[in-house]
């Protein structure tokens, strides 16, 4: 299964490690999206920055 991660808030004035997580997810600007495999590593990163991103499942991938 795959998930689509979309950044909805800016990383300005956020903790440095949260900025690094956003970068490692392939994001960096509000409105930018990436599709990732659904695995515990990705889910852990999303949990850390859940206030900055939205997540939705992708069908047919």
Q: Where are the domains of the chain?
A: 2-58
Provide the pLDDT confidence category of residue 61 given band limits of 50, 70 and 90. low
- pTM for this entry: 0.92
Degrees to nearest 5, angle at CA 43 with 55 and 19: 80
Cβ-in-10-Å burial (0-12, 13-18, 19+) of 18 comes to middle
* Cα angle value 59/49/30 (rounded, 5°): 70
Domain made up of 2-58: CATH architecture: 2-Layer Sandwich (3.30)
What pLDDT sits at residue 59? Answer: 87
In this prediction, what percent of the chain has a pLDDT beyond 90? 95
């Amino acid at each position: 299964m795959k998930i689509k991660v979309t950044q909805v808030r800016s990383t300005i004035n956020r903790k440095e490690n949260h900025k690094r997580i956003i970068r490692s997810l392939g994001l960096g600007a509000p409105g930018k999206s990436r599709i990732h495999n659904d695995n515990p590593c990705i889910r852990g990163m999303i949990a850390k920055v859940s206030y900055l991103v939205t997540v939705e499942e992708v069908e047919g991938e």
